[in-house]
Amino acid sequence: MNLNQLLRISYIIFFLINFNSVCSQNFWITDYAHDMVGLKKYHEMGYTGKGVTIAVLDNGFYRVDSIAAFAKLRDRGGIIATFDVIANDSNVFDRGNHGLYVLSIMAGFVNDSFNGSAPNADYILVHTENALKEVHQEEYNWKTGSEWAIEKGADIINSSLGYSLFDTLEGDYSYQEMNGKSTVVTLAAEAASKQVLVVNSAGNSGNNSWYHITAPCDGPSVFCIGALDSFGRVAVFSSRGPTADGRIKPNVSAMGANVAFINSRGRFQIGSGTSFSSPLIAGMMACLKQAFPNASNELLMRSVEQSASHYNNPNEAIGYGIPNVLLADSIIKSTLASITNNSKTSTPFIFPNPSKNKLFVEHNYPIFLLELKNVLGEIIMFSHENKLDITMLPKGQYFLHITDSRQNFWVKKIQK
């Protein structure tokens, strides 16, 4: 008997032993996964994803139009658009159990029993994945689906999908291509990330020969999610980082082993995969976006990373670790307050500082040029966007020279 089987048995025994007592205490079978990241308390504070739209790219959403666990979602008109990229029509409910499972973790609701991670968000459902094949066409489907979802008003994309090895004669990717700029789907995800927050599962290859994360999780702007067991340890199947070019992945991790979801018969089921930790975090991000509608996606992601258990010592297994949405909320509030104070004098605000991997600049005016210099005044990095990736730089002190579109100029001290 392997570790996952033992964990599954222990999880089921826990519910069998405690079911009668915990139900009388308003116990929900989603509580454990939610509590691990502080989400149940955040829901109680009123942050449930309301006003935020999540696009789910998957292999279809079988019977979501009839299963009772989605009645609340349907009755309030929470499914705002559907598209089957493969069939080129709007029917996404005739096949695809995986998409059903993933959606249930975000949007499912059974009174006194089951609650999704973003139960009051709106949803766009997109069928991009062919469950019977693993072919490169699915990457192009992802691109088409993401572009369509953005046009329909998506704020967040959850993609519990990953690409590395393909069917015979299709041509596999190599780990060296997990560098953020080589695969079709990663380039599509990076393009989408300019407009929406892309949350993606790390992959389930941690206990096989591939081992590493899969595309598009290697994208610099993609929020890559690993899987934990109920003890907060990395699940054996969770794909490991880093990217081929040495960046930290996954970004954060959440419960993905022995997770409760809704199956096609409308019943509770237990399953495992980073496919299940990703929608938990996507829902959490929707709740944060409800709380801070004007915060940038970069600020949301970096604050969640800073809130995580291993922020000061990230690793290839769980990234920055287990996030805490309540702490992330506090970090965002503090950062926005600092940005507001800086805005009064029209000076740029840099966050996080100190930073381990990325620097972001919030400013009232577009950024024309960022130049990062060492203590000798030598330019070691530059960008025409509002961010720099300093992952590969050694620890130390640097100076960020900022020029905005009005040609105003600032120098800010940076610590890594």
**409: domain CATH number?**
2.60.40.3080
pLDDT bucket at 17, cuts 50 / 70 / 90: very low
Task: Tell whether 385 is covered by a domain.
Answer: yes
Within a domain: residue 335? Answer: no
Residue 51 lies in a domain: yes
Q: List all residues 6 or more positions away from 393 whose beta carbon is below 8 Å from its beta carbon.
A: 380, 381, 416
Q: Worst-scoring range by mean pLDDT, 20-34, 243-257, 371-385? A: 20-34
CB atoms within 10 A of CB 147: 14
Average confidence (pLDDT) over 56-77: 98
For residue 341, tell me if it sits in a domain.
no
**Among candidate residues 103, 315, 102, 155, the one with its CA nearest the CA of residue 226:** 315
pLDDT per residue as tens digits for the range 82-114: 999 999 999 999 999 999 999 999 999 999 899
Compute the average pLDDT of residues 164-184: 96
Question: Looking at the structure, do residues 275 and 406 belong to the same domain, yes or no?
Answer: no
Same-domain pairing of 352 and 240: no
* Same-domain status, 68 and 149: yes
Residue at token pair 């059903």:
100
Is pLDDT above 90 for 18? no
CA distances from 396 to 305, 357, 386 (A): 21, 13, 21
Asked, for residue 362, whether it belongs to a domain, the answer is yes
Q: How far apart are CA 235 and CA 228, in angstroms?
A: 5
215 has which bridge partners? 163
User: Strand, helix or coil at 402?
Assistant: strand
Residue whose pair of structure tokens reads 């096609």 in the numeric block: 264
Does 248 share its domain with 380?
A: no
Predicted confidence band of residue 407 (pLDDT cuts 50, 70, 90) = confident
The answer to whether position 290 is within a domain reads yes
Three-class SS state of 49: coil
Residue 141 and residue 290 in one domain: yes
Same domain, 315 and 366: no
Question: pTM of the full predicted structure?
Answer: 0.83
Domain coverage including residue 369: 346-415
The pLDDT of 340-349, averaged and rounded, is 76
367 against 345, higher pLDDT: 367
Select from 330, 362, 393 the last residue of a domain. 330
Residues 322 and 354 in one domain: no
* Half-sphere exposure (Cβ direction) of 399: Cα atoms closer than 13 Å: 11
**CATH number of the domain that residue 216 is part of:** 3.40.50.200
d(CA 69, CA 63): 10
Q: Which of 330, 357, 379 is the last residue of a domain?
A: 330
Q: pLDDT-derived band of residue 255, with 50, 70 and 90 as boundaries? A: very high
Q: Domain check: are 104 and 169 in the same one?
A: yes
Last residue of a domain, one of 302, 330, 358: 330
More confident site: 340 or 269: 269
Domain identity same for 308 and 360: no
| Alpha carbon distance 6, 133 (integer Å) | 31
For residue 344, what pLDDT is reported? 67
In terms of domains, do 157 and 71 share one? yes
Tally of domains in the chain: 2
Orientation of helix 325-343 relative to helix 297-306, angle to 10°: 130
Q: Do residues 177 and 299 both lie within one domain? A: yes
Looking at the predicted structure, is the pLDDT value of residue 20 above 60? no
**pLDDT given for residue 9 in this prediction:** 53
Q: Residue 7 carries which side chain, given as an amino acid letter? A: L
d(CA 308, CA 324): 6
In the chain, % of residues over pLDDT 90? 75
The predicted structure's pLDDT at residue 377: 80
Same domain, 381 and 308: no
User: At residue 43, does pLDDT exceed 80?
Assistant: yes
SS3 152: coil
Strands (E) located in 171-317: 197-201, 223-228, 252-255, 259-262, 268-271
CA distance 22 to 119: 22
Q: Is residue 403 part of a domain?
A: yes
Residue 51 pLDDT greater than 90, yes or no: yes
302: in domain: yes
Name the average pLDDT for the chain: 91
